[in-house]
Amino acid sequence: MLTGIDTPSHVVVGMPALSPTMSQGNIAKWKKKEGDKINVGDVICEIETDKATLEFESLEEGYLAKILVPEGSKDVPVGQAIAITVEDLDDIQKVTATVSGESEIKEEKSTSQNEVREQETSSIKISSSELPPHIILDMPALSPTMSQGNIAKWRKKEGDKINVGDVLCEIETDKATLEFESLEEGFLAKILAPEGSKEVAVGQPIAVTVEDQNDLETVKASVSEGLEVKEEKPDHHVTRTASGPRGTLLKGDVLGAIKSGKRSPKTSVNEKTTQSPQTRPQASVPASPESKSHLKQPAFYEDLPNSQIRKVIAKRLLESKQNTPHLYMSSDVILDPLLSFRKELKEKHDIKVSVNDIIIKAVANALGNVPEANAYWDTEKGEVVLLDSVDISIAVATEKGLMTPIVRNADQKTISSISLEVKELAAKARAGKLSPNEFQGGTFSISNLGMFPVDHFCAIINPPQACILAVGRGNEVVEPVVGSDGTESPAVVTIMNLTLSADHRVYDGKVGGAFLTALRANFSDIRRLLL
């Protein structure tokens, strides 16, 4: 058995959560075998989830040293180790020997660990045999990218009866505030993560339920005593938060944990300052008034905590600008035919629609006319993938951040039906009640700032989509207009700017130009949207 010093640098790969409801998965097929080189983005294996068979891509470079869960394994829990990778090819044999040696010792370790657990539980007068039937509820993964969540509100209190389908609590995820429903009947014995708890990791216990109402006090007292003992025992381990998608531990996390382990975690800020070799000479030299003014913090300031949604938005926007080659194309359209058409719908047919509703329909029809524009870039295959349906994502500003509910198959819907759907989706987005299928996916996005004094702007692409259209406000300008007699004369028209931000791997000049041409045609002859 290798010691911690002799163990080579390695990464333990856990079973990922590839769908919001996934708690376990099956290893359908290993695409890499032990000893193979792995690059970032390589498919390691195919995993059968509760929704479909999906490919699991590597987030790190290295070599596949050991497969811990063989092909065909069923019901592997999320988070369970399925493989080990190493950085250097020479370390494969060391890790393989270590894993083989440890597998023989695991049985002995498990026995000793059980004895330790029994001793710990006996010290607080609890043993597993004495505990009544109970279920520990963990923080669920309510979206594919969720690694942690906030307890927004408990809908049940301790002691309440729980039926199947009852909402236990409201959880703020990285996308929206969603309801967590119970899958079992019973009684809520103990709430472990109180209302308002922030950044609770997926899989961390948040509550305990029991089957029998008479067991409430027993479990509640047991859990309370257990918590007290845990508080008395100091934790000497230096923890490190996993920064990868869905709670994946990356190499940088491990290296950071090793570095932080060299220092005492209890060292205060003041102690660190006095121990720093850089701060000592600075403290002995009197600072000039100018330097003090630069170092002095403002007298009044306020820290605004970010919601889970805003944190994810910030991360995804940065990744988009870093990894997606943005191509910008801009064009002005005359808005007057649209405004006249909207007025006619209201006066003659009593149909009230917004300018944005008509823009959605115009964009959807243009995508139908130019199918090459309704596509995305497949990073793994290195090619463009054309999409069958035209699903338009609409940017909606909420208190918690920007949400993008989706109008699906917008090219096949009427303007009035689009209007009703947008109103319903926007209301649900602002209330934080969108379900995952209402904001996940989409083939094209629209961001409209026409209600503000914004003439034009460039929006950031929302991956994996390949395009987003930025819509500015309408401005009245004087332009030459060709009359019915064929002569030009100056006239006042309303101009609106449209700026396309496109993934240059999908959109070249030809595709972008063809799409804007089709879009301009829809604005010039607005009645074609009725066909």
Q: Which residues are catalytic?
A: 504, 508
DSSP H or E segment with residue 281: helix 279-284
Compute the distance between CA of residue 25 and CA of residue 80 in angstroms, rounded to an integer: 10
Q: How far apart are CA 504 and CA 374, in angstroms?
A: 13
What is the spatial distance between Cα 470 and Cα 457, in angstroms, rounded to a whole number?
Answer: 6
The rounded distance, in Å, linking the Cα atoms of 238 and 241 is 10
Q: With helix as H, strand as E and coil as C, how does 206-265 read?
A: EEEEECCHHHHHHHHHHHHHHHHHHHHCCCCCCCCCCCCHHHCCCHHHHHHHHHHCCCCC
CB atoms within 10 A of CB 321: 11
The whole-angstrom distance between residue 423's C-alpha and the CA centroid of its chain comes to 24
Place of tokens 């792995």: 38
Q: Which of 229, 215, 226 lies closest to 135 in space, CA to CA?
A: 215
Locate tokens 């044999």: which residue? 93
Give the three-class secondary structure for 190.
Answer: strand
Angle at 475 between CA 413 and CA 345, to 5 degrees: 35
* Residues 6+ away with beta carbon under 8 Å from 426: 394, 396, 405
Are the beta carbons of 182 and 115 closer than 8 angstroms?
no
| Length of the chain (residues) | 531
CB 169 within 8 A of CB 155: yes
Dihedral Cα 363, 367, 372, 378, nearest 10 deg: 70
Which helix H or strand E contains 41, and what residues bound it?
none
- Structure token pair of residue 44: 């390691």
Q: What is the CA radius of gyration of the chain?
A: 29
Q: Specify the DSSP element, H or E, that contains 402.
A: strand 401-403
Q: Which helix (H) or strand (E) holds 520?
A: helix 509-524
Q: Is 503 exposed, middle or buried (0-12, 13-18, 19+ CB in 10 A)?
A: buried
Least Cα distance to 58 among 202, 248, 240, 247 occurs for 248
How remote is the C-alpha of 88 from its chain's centroid? 32
Q: Within a 10 A sphere around the Cβ of 436, how many other Cβ atoms?
A: 17
